[in-house]
Amino acid sequence: MPEEEIDAGDQDYFSPDWCSLPWSGWVPFDADRQTFHRLPHEPGVYRIRPAGKNFLMYVGSSGQPLVTKLAGLRQALRRADLMPWADPHPEAPGLWAWWVSWLADSGGAGPVMLECSAAPLDASVAGRKGMESFLLYRYRQERGESPLCNFGRFHPRYRRSTNRNEGKRGGKLAEGQQDNPAGSPGTGPLEPVGRPGDPDWMGLEWTAFAPLSPEGIGATAPGAGLYLLADAGTRGIVFIGQSADLVGHLADHSRKEDGRALLFSCHHPDRPVRPHHLRELENDLIGNFFEQERKVPEFQFRKGT
């Protein structure tokens, strides 16, 4: 974790009007109930930081009242001796791992406190998730890296809890165990270049659009990468995705989209990438699309996509 202390006003992503949203003040996770309930009582987006540090730990969105979501999250983090489950708060295990590691480093004296800030947002599910992607995109552009706990990133010396039904509680890795690969550094932000669907959009090399058909998919190079789906008539982008198995994932799409003529284009990274790298790059694309179009692609965040 970077050690420099900060003036909160120095960072745009800490500001009360970041990305033109009406952010609440920062509220410590250990605030009294009356103070905590000053958080918005509507659905929207939220951000979490360690007090006095110059970075964000997590950016998220919720269809619940934000105060309810964040009260539930702080309740999940109440015990320093037990990593929370990954449901109903997927970010909780990662936040817990970093908090506990900082607590251990401090010897229990003056541990880093987590703080949250939230902004109400009257939007559809896709609109709210689109704004979440846009905030993460803007953060990566401003900071040069992702928040510590987004995109599946995790503390390198901890393993993650599963969902409650799977029943595998996470915790600190034993001495001699290899680091959690999700703790490896993220990838830097993409350069905002061109428009969605351009052959060099976001500074990447995209293949020519081809029909989303067995023949078109069969000519695609195997492996991991990013992909775009476009309407065959309008050429408008309808979905942005990533996969460790592009060929298999595109084949799944071709079976789901019966009756809709679609095209696809791919980008194959020129070096091995981890799952969180692909998610970071996918989000940069969605965030830039949202910035230019003020909406997400038609199929984005659609259930089952």
What value does the mean pLDDT of the chain take?
A: 93
Which of 130, 154, 183 is the last residue before a domain boundary? 183
pLDDT on residue 7: 47
Asked, for residue 300, whether it belongs to a domain, the answer is no
DSSP state of 9: G
Report whether the peptide linkage leading into residue 88 is cis, meaning its omega lies within 30 degrees of zero: yes
Does residue 46 contact residue 60 with C-beta atoms inside 8 Å? yes
- Euclidean distance between the first and final Cα of the chain, in Å? 35
**What confidence tens digit (pLDDT) does each residue in 18-52 have?**
999 999 999 999 999 999 999 999 999 999 999 98
| Inside any domain, residue 239 | yes
**Residue 176, in any domain of the structure:** yes
**205 & 124 share domain:** no
- What residues does 120 pair with on adjacent strands? 44
- Would you state the structure tokens that stand for residue 12, as one six-digit string? 């745009």
Domain assignment present for 3: no
Final residue before a domain boundary, out of 152, 183, 214: 183
Distance CA 91, CA 84 (A): 10
Asked if 142 and 215 sit in the same domain, the reply is no
For residue 2, being part of any structural domain is answered with: no
pLDDT in tens, 101-126: 998 887 655 556 899 999 999 999 99
Same domain, 168 and 269: no
The verdict on 174 and 87 lying in the same domain is yes
Is residue 178 domain-shared with residue 205, that is, in the same domain?
Answer: no
pTM over 0.85: yes
- Domain range for 121 is 8-183
Q: What share of the chain is helix, strand, coil (3-state, %, to 5)?
A: 30, 15, 50
Over residues 283-297, mean pLDDT: 98
Above 60 in pLDDT, residue 177? yes
pLDDT more than 70, % of the chain: 93
**Number of structural domains, the chain?**
2
Residue 24 lies in a domain: yes
pLDDT higher than 60, residue 9: no
Question: Which phi-psi region, left, alpha or beta, contains residue 63 (left: φ > 0; alpha: ψ -120 to 50)?
Answer: alpha
Of the chain, the percentage scoring pLDDT greater than 90 comes to: 86
Query: Is the residue at 287 inside a domain?
Result: yes
Please tell me whether residues 29 and 98 are part of one structural domain.
yes
Render the burial of 181-213: b for 16+ CB within 10 Å, e for the rest.
ebbeebbebbeeebebbeeebbebebbebbebe
Among 125, 151, 183, where does a domain finish? Answer: 183
CA gap 138, 17 in Å, rounded? 13
Q: Tell whether 26 and 55 lie within a shared domain.
A: yes
Question: Does one domain contain both 273 and 152?
Answer: no
Q: Are residues 158 and 26 in the same domain?
A: yes
- Whichever domain contains 258, its CATH number is 3.40.1440
**106 and 144 share one domain:** yes
Whether residues 43 and 177 share a domain: the answer is yes
Q: In this structure, are 114 and 225 located in the same domain?
A: no
Please indicate, yes or no, if residue 154 is contained in any of the structural domains. Answer: yes
Laid out side by side, the sheet with 44-50 consists of: 27-28, 114-120, 44-50, 58-62
pLDDT in tens, 178-187: 999 999 999 9
Structure confidence at residue 83 as a pLDDT band (50, 70, 90):
very high
> Which pLDDT score, from 0 to 100, does residue 303 have?
72
The answer to whether residue 257 scores a pLDDT higher than 90 is no
| CB atoms closer than 10 angstroms to residue 124 | 12
